Every structure is written in structure tokens, then in C-alpha cells.
Amino acid sequence: MPADPIIAEIRSRAVGLGFSRIGIAPVGRPPHHDAFQAWLTSGLAGPMQEWLARHEPLRDDPASLLEGAKSVIMLATDHATGTVSPAAAEPGLGRVARYAWGDDYHDLLRSRANELARWLEQQRPGCRTRGVVDSAPLAERDFAWLAGLGWFGKNTMLIDPRAGSFFFLTAILTDLDLPADAPLMTDHCGTCTACLDACPTQAFPAPRVLDASRCISALTIEERGGVPEDLRAGMGDWIFGCDICQEVCPWNRHAPGSGEPAFQPRQTGESLSLADLLNLDEAGFRQRFKGSPLLRAKRHGLARSAAIALGNRPHPPAFATLAAALDDGEPVVREAAAWALGRWIEVGVMPHEARAALAANDQTVSSTSVAGSRPGPSAE
């Protein structure tokens, strides 16, 4: 296809709006959709199973999102701020995935995508566009791969050899027939298995296969009920998302940082007081995390994860708050708090106080084992 002069203008405009990189792919059936269907059939989507299965037919046909779509403009936005997280947060604090340290990226990227789409429609009157930022069943990673923005790492993340994997994807579907970029065919992972080896919940049954029912990110963000007990110790002090498989990736050693103000950490954005989270009511939760990605976890989900983190790393100053959570209005928080106190008993951290708190709540203690059958946490 002859070079279209508008391509250079699109790239320049995109970078001017704050996107880091751009690639263009043809619209068609996602090249890995058969593998996606097999993954769904295997039940590996965890808490996302129902939503993904319901929207699978739309994902199979991108033109269903924009009739007559011929091209998809894929945009990458680097988001890394600060330094790589330490092995653990300070006692009493819980860790948050790097992408959620600042404001909700959806709002910023949607605004930029809409502005780029409007500009394109002005340049080519009559053309139609649709921007997508995690808001529609589109196989963004597949089209980003087709557009040359990276290869699929063994942790299933898209990795750019120039920028690692700490970036967001945004898509703009259009009925313009734009010249496509070439996909990155080389697998740069080689024999490295750092990401697979580092996952504390063994969420990768095979390279490039994620068992979302065991993934810390899915458990802390998407799971609305209780977390299976055999996975709780592996969650460590993560309370929203997880960066472990990305932090150990050699390709992220020199990942470009981001100076975007919206991505900079809010107050204590990198780690949060677990006791403070357990103390929040619904109104307080919404006020504190307004405009933050953490709203997605819901108040009870974040409090549940905070209790689990306190079970994994007992912190005596938080005892009163954890004990009070036994009377939380949400059953999933009450159960997690009881489990956490049981863990304190196992490792001898305030065992008498923990037993007394559990005994004062007969309904909780009757359904909570405090026997030493589970692996003990590290006491702080």
C-alpha cells in the first residue's frame, strides 16, 4: 500500500498528546483468538470468567465495535514512576501496583484518544472512529503485537524491547484503510523464566498461560468474594494488584519513566496503611480514593485484602483495628479478619489477645480454624 502522508501526522499528533509510541494494525480476527477461547474453556479466567465469556463473540469480531472498521491505531503510554518496589512494604503497610499509584488512567487516556480521533475525523471528513481504553471487548494486546509494539512475554505481558512492559494500551478503531506496521516476530524472552519462578501463587501453569484464579492482581481487584485460603500467604502485603512478574523482568531494568503528573503517586500512593483501610466506611472510602484506580476493588475488597496482608505480616499496633473488623458489615471482611487473627495465634503474635477477640465473636470463631495447619507468616 502506498505511503499515506497522514500517517506521519498521526504519529506526530499522538506523541504531542502524550502517547509514548504508536503502531497501526489491520482490523480482523485477533490472531490469538483460538488460544483465548481455549483459555476460557479451561476455566483459567478466574473472577473474570463470566464477563469475558459473555463478550467473547464481540472480541472475535472487532468490526462489531465499529461497523466497517479497517484499521486500529494502537497507542502505548509509559506509566512507571519512582523506583522498583522493595521486596516488602514497611510493617503495617500494604503495597499497590505501580500503575495505580496516581490517578485513574482511563480518564486521561480516554480524553487523549478522543482528541486524536476528533482530529483524524477533521483531517479525513466522513471517516468514523471509536476509542477504546479497557472499555470494550477488544483484544488490545493482540492488535498491539500486530502493530509492532512488543512481543508476548512468558508472563503474558506485552514487552517492548525499548521500553519494557510498564505501559498502558489505548486503541482507536477507524474505517480508514491505513498502512499497517509489521508485528514483532522475535521472542526476546529466550530461556529466561524469572517471571514464572517469582510468582508466589504459581499463577503460570505454563509460559504465556495465566491462571487468573491464582493471580494476585485478579484476586485483589476483580474477586468480589473471599480469597481461597491456600493462596492468601502468597499474597504477602499486596492489597491492590501486583508487580512481581514485571519487577523481575530483565527488560524492565531500563524502562523509561514517566513525568506525567497524573501518574505520580498520590499521598502514600505506593503503599497504604492497612489499619486506615480497615477503618474506612463506604463514604470515607469513596472520598479518599475518588479519581483513583483503587475504587475498582470496592471498599470491602480493599478491606478484605488489608486484613489478609495483616495476617501475613502481623503488626501489633494494628491489632485493635483488625479485631474491630470482626464486626464489619461485610461478611468477606469479617472472615478475612478472623483468618488473620488465627495466623497471629499460629506465630505467637499477641496470641492471647487474638484468641480473646475471636472468642468474643462466636459466629466467626466457629467457622475459622486457628490450628497450625497453614504455613506461618513472618512476624514483624
In angstroms, the CA 73 to CA 90 distance is: 42
Distance between CA atoms of residues 155 and 242, nearest Å: 12
Residue 34 CA: distances (Å) to CA of 40, 41, 57, 60, 159: 10, 11, 12, 9, 21
Cell of 289: 480514593
254, 248, 255: which is closest to 193 by C-alpha?
248
Count CB-CB contacts under 10 A for residue 372: 11
Distance CA 177, CA 355 (A): 68
- 212 vs 107: CA distance, rounded Å: 26
CA 247 to chain centre: 14
Q: 8, exposed or middle or buried, with CB in 10 Å at 0-12, 13-18, 19+?
A: exposed
User: How many CB atoms neighbour CB 123 within 10 A?
Assistant: 13
DSSP letter for 52, please: H
Count of beta carbons in the 10 Å neighbourhood of residue 17: 16
E strand or H helix that includes residue 22:
strand 21-26
Nearest to 66 by CA among 220, 152, 174, 190: 174
Active site residue 281: no
Select which of 61, 134, 181, 276 is catalytic: 134
CA–CA dist 255, 260 (Å, integer): 15
Q: What's the rounded Cα separation, in Å, for the pair 19 and 81?
A: 16
CA Rg value for the chain: 23
List, by residue number, the catalytic residues.
Answer: 134
